[in-house]
């Protein structure tokens, strides 16, 4: 189980890749098919088509267990077939609303181990004991049902008074059961109630169920804007919205779904326009050829990480530009992508611990340690003259292999000094991983000194992408690519 990718990581990767908060519902509606055989054959073909049409427009798939249960054995077989055709990079949410305390442990094992779904919805009225067996799975997430849009549910949800309703008490208590990445909330399409829930749970992921406005007219556009304003977190995230089933009945389903996604993204930008603490980045150019790190490079430029003008580097050299990577820790969307990019390289390396070079790469090293569940240490920039006077902070054993993480390679001086401190403590250092390589033969220099260097980006790659996107002019491109 520990080798499986976390739901939150899969979801965020899909959101970033597809720039979408939409999820696809894959539920057979028995009343729309003449018989059970038709459901299990025709619906499977229909589901495949829907996935093909939306794979690059959605962030997740949701399956309502009750529909499959109602079909008996053919339904269980159909469920397995549906799970098999969903692309592995798209997270799967099983909408089970499970509520039986006695079978929670067995059901959690079935859905998370046997069916390999990424998240499940639960009815929480049996309390924490009902939810706990599901929280034991480190890479999985649960969504607690806290409010539905069914009109007659108000008698219970708003008890004892609308000012202090039961559903808000449920929201408050459930947040003590698990972290934001482990426990989210499930809510019906109700802007007023959604706004109160978002206020009470600002960091939680909210799964919206029901029919959202389709934006066919001004009224529906306003309703959608109201729903988004009520449910989005302050950084324009934290919300999963269903694709309206009626869009698949249109003449061009993919086009309509794409329009809905783009409209939601526009509303996301408006929703955070006044927030000084966190910004959402969306692409504004279209390219014919794919580049794996293009969006990341454009984002780094757009938040001001590439600055032109004479700047003194840490090595003492003066460059006509400066790359400032310290801003990334204030933009969660970008920081997550950067940590993911480092992690892809580290997955292919053998090491016991991660070491960050102070001070610029310490946040990244910390993020990697948490992401990869590997211990972290770091060599001090200066040895303390008080306390224990340690040269290396953190627990380690002599003879262990350390992978060194730094932000940028210019001369290689600082990273080799850090590696030398680690080696002086009896540790082995073979690999050094950075975000940006200035090139100019620095990797060769490191290799001569016994280190293998790896980088996410090269400066020439950054310059080329920025030039293609008209972010920089010819003169600036030449400045970035000139030898220094």
Q: Is 223 annotated as a binding residue?
A: no
CA 289 to each of CA 21, 254, 447, 468: distance values in angstroms, whole numbers, following the listed order: 25, 21, 33, 11
The two three-digit tokens of residue 241, written as one number = 């919205």
Q: Would you please indicate which residues are annotated as catalytic (active-site) residues?
A: 97
Q: What is the DSSP string of 183-200?
A: EEEEEES-HHHHHHHHHH
Q: Is 330 annotated as a binding residue?
A: no
Instruction: Tell the residue number behind the tokens 């929480």, with chain if given.
Output: 124
- The one-character DSSP state at 436 is E
Bridge partners of residue 409, in order along the sequence: 437
Q: Is 114 annotated as a binding residue?
A: no
Q: Is 414 annotated as a binding residue?
A: yes
Phi-psi region of 426 (alpha: psi -120 to 50; beta: other; left: phi over 0): left
Q: Is 44 annotated as a binding residue?
A: no
Q: Is 443 annotated as a binding residue?
A: no
Distance CA 174, CA 220 (A): 32
Task: Write out the H or E segment, with its range, that includes residue 22.
Answer: strand 22-25
Q: Is 384 annotated as a binding residue?
A: yes
Q: Is 328 annotated as a binding residue?
A: no
Instruction: Tell the residue number behind the tokens 């079909």, with chain if given.
Output: 71
Strand, coil or helix: 428: strand
Strand, coil or helix: 171: helix
Q: Is 413 annotated as a binding residue?
A: yes
Q: Given CA atoms 425, 429, 433, 439 in this order, what sign does their dihedral have?
A: positive
Distance CA 21, CA 268 (A): 10
Instruction: Tell the residue number behind the tokens 């539920």, with chain if given.
Output: 27
Distance CA 108, CA 115 (A): 10
Q: Under a CB-based contact definition with an 8 Å cutoff, are residues 379 and 414 in contact? A: no
Q: Under a CB-based contact definition with an 8 Å cutoff, are residues 235 and 223 in contact? A: no
Q: Is 347 annotated as a binding residue?
A: no
Instruction: Tell the residue number behind the tokens 């990869």, with chain if given.
Output: 372
Give the pairing of strands 119-122 and 141-147: parallel
Distance CA 387, CA 484 (A): 42
Instruction: Tell the residue number behind the tokens 């008698």, with chain if given.
Output: 155
The two three-digit tokens of residue 148, written as one number = 């539905």
Of 301, 266, 265, 258, give the one whose Cα is nearest residue 469: 301
Cis peptide bond upstream of 468, omega within 30 = no
Distance CA 437, CA 454 (A): 8
Q: What is the DSSP string of 272-286?
A: TTT-SS---------
The two three-digit tokens of residue 111, written as one number = 């859905």
Residues at the annotated binding site for 5-phospho-alpha-D-ribose 1-diphosphate? 380-381, 384, 406-414
Residues at the annotated binding site? 380-381, 384, 406-414
């Amino acid at each position: 189980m520990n080798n499986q990718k976390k739901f939150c990581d899969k979801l965020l990767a899909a959101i970033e890749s597809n720039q979408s908060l939409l999820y696809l519902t894959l539920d057979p509606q028995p009343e729309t098919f003449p018989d059970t055989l038709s459901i299990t054959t025709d619906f499977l073909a229909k589901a495949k088509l829907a996935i093909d049409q939306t794979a690059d427009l959605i962030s997740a798939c949701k399956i309502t267990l009750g529909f499959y249960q109602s079909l008996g054995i053919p339904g269980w077989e159909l469920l397995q077939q549906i799970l098999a055709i969903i692309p592995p990079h798209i997270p799967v949410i099983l909408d089970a609303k499970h509520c039986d305390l006695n079978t929670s442990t067995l059901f959690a094992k079935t859905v998370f181990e046997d069916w390999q779904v990424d998240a499940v919805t639960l009815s929480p009225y049996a309390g924490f004991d009902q939810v706990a067996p599901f929280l034991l799975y480190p890479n999985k997430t649960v969504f607690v049902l806290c409010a539905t849009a069914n009109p007659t549910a108000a008698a219970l949800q708003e008890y004892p008074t609308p000012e202090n309703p039961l559903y808000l008490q449920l929201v408050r208590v459930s947040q003590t059961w698990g972290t934001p990445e482990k426990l989210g909330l499930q809510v019906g399409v109700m802007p007023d109630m959604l706004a109160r829930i978002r206020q009470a749970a600002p960091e939680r992921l909210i799964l919206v169920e029901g029919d959202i406005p389709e934006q066919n007219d001004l009224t529906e556009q306003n309703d959608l804007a109201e729903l988004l304003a009520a449910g989005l977190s302050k950084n324009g995230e934290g919300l999963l919205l269903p694709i309206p089933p009626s869009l698949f009945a249109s003449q061009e389903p993919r086009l309509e779904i794409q329009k809905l996604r783009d409209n939601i993204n526009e509303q996301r930008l408006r929703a955070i326009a006044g927030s000084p603490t966190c910004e959402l980045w969306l692409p504004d150019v279209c390219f014919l050829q794919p580049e794996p790190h293009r969006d990341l490079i454009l984002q780094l430029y757009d938040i001001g990480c590439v600055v032109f003008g004479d700047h003194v580097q840490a090595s003492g050299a003066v460059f006509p530009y400066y790359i400032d990577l310290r801003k990334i820790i204030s933009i969660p969307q970008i920081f997550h992508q950067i940590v993911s990019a480092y992690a892809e390289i580290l997955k292919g390396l053998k090491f016991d611990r991660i070491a960050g070079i102070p001070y610029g790469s310490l946040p990244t090293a910390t993020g990697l340690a948490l992401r990869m569940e590997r211990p972290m240490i770091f060599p001090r920039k200066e040895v303390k003259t008080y306390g224990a006077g340690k040269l290396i902070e953190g627990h380690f054993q002599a003879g262990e292999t350390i992978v060194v993480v730094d932000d940028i390679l210019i001369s290689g001086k600082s990273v080799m000094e850090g590696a030398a401190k680690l080696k002086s403590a009896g540790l082995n250092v073979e690999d050094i991983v950075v975000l940006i390589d200035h090139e100019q033969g620095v990797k060769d220099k490191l290799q001569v000194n016994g280190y293998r260097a790896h980088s996410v980006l090269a400066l020439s790659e950054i310059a080329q992408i920025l030039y293609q996107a008209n972010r920089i002019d010819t003169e600036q491109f030449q400045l970035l690519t000139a030898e220094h």
